[in-house]
Amino acid sequence: MTGAGAAAPHPTAASDTTHPTTASGGSSPMYTLTAVTKTYAQKKHTVTALDGVDLEIPAGQMVAIQGPTGGGKSTLLQMLGALDRPTSGTVRLGDADLSTAGDRALAAVRAREIGFVFQGFNLIPTLTAAENVETAFADASTPRAERRSRATEALAAVGLAERADHLPGELSGGQQQRVAIARALVGQPTVLLADEPTGSLDEATRDEIMDLLESVWRERGLTLVIVTHDSAVARRAQRRLRIAGGTVSELQPAA
Ligand code: ADP
Ligand code: MG
């Protein structure tokens, strides 16, 4: 906001400047990626997972990312999710530079701004639905009673109020994904990132989960990024991107 972002980045500065402006009007960028490259060192060679990605995602947009296996979809989502830093280039989330932030600053960004949903749900099998949602409060700074009441609220918001005490193994795939969505949303993120969220579900359940994601996106004004192999899922987004060979292209202009 101050223009300080143009100065040499300080590795720990991000923790203090990580509230992206979600100003109404919709055109302020949530993400700005500039010349983002990510390489992984393999035994004898280097794999280029992202190869000079330039991408802007406005606040509040719903974006689908398609592309072949190995094309770089998950790597891109990790950059957006502050899970990893690019090898070169910059990733900005609002005012925060994720490419130079330290591990603690990235963790703070994740906790405050980002919810994740995965294909395999990633629930802890020995915890109830409510306890799984509560794991989102990782740092225990939220009092126990408040954690529980917010988890209960989040489960109600995904239509699972009466399943709070069930273990994941006692729930259907669609219900488990609803628990995972409640866990992703309980911290009130500004961004929701989903990696093949319907990849393990039948078509009817897929459509229910997409209805849910679309309604929370709309109601909460989230920025929603969904990686998917499924064109029926991608068609529901405002914007479709394809990533192959680490390069991003637009499949459909932004709405
Ligand atoms: P997608 O999600 O589109 O299938 P990924 O982003 O997972 O693609 O992978 C892109 C490329 O980077 C692939 O060639 C993959 O093998 C490689 N890759 C991804 N993660 C790692 C890693 N941690 N170590 C080494 N190579 C990786
Ligand atoms: Mg992947």
CATH code at 100? 3.40.50.300
- Say if residue 1's pLDDT is above 80: no
Q: CA–CA separation, 246 vs 162, rounded Å?
A: 43
Residue 9 covered by a domain:
no
- Say if residue 14's pLDDT is above 70: no
Q: Which helix (H) or strand (E) holds 243?
A: strand 239-244
Tell me the best of 40, 79, 195, 229 to mutate to test the pocket of ligand 1, counting ligand atoms within 8 Å of each CB and taking the most.
40
Task: Decide whether any atom of ligand 1 lies within 6 Å of the 201 Cβ.
Answer: no
Tell me the best of 74, 80, 193 to mutate to test the pocket of ligand 1, counting ligand atoms within 8 Å of each CB and taking the most.
74
Residue 4 covered by a domain:
no
pLDDT digits (tens, 9 = 90+) for 61-77: 999 999 999 999 999 99
Residue 158 Cα to ligand 2 middle (Å)? 25
Residue 121 covered by a domain:
yes
Average of pLDDT values for 214-237? Answer: 96
Between the CA of residue 161 and those of 53, 179, 188, what are the distances in Å?
A: 42, 10, 18
Residue 232 covered by a domain:
yes
- What's the 3-state SS for 199-220? CCCCHHHHHHHHHHHHHHHHHH
* Domain carrying residue 237: 27-252
- Say if residue 11's pLDDT is above 70: no
Task: Decide whether any atom of ligand 1 lies within 6 Å of the 4 Cβ.
Answer: no
Residue 18 covered by a domain:
no
Task: Say how many domains are in the chain.
Answer: 1
Average of pLDDT values for 183-207? Answer: 96
Q: Which two three-digit tokens encode residue 254?
A: 């932004």
Residue 15 covered by a domain:
no
Residue 92 covered by a domain:
yes
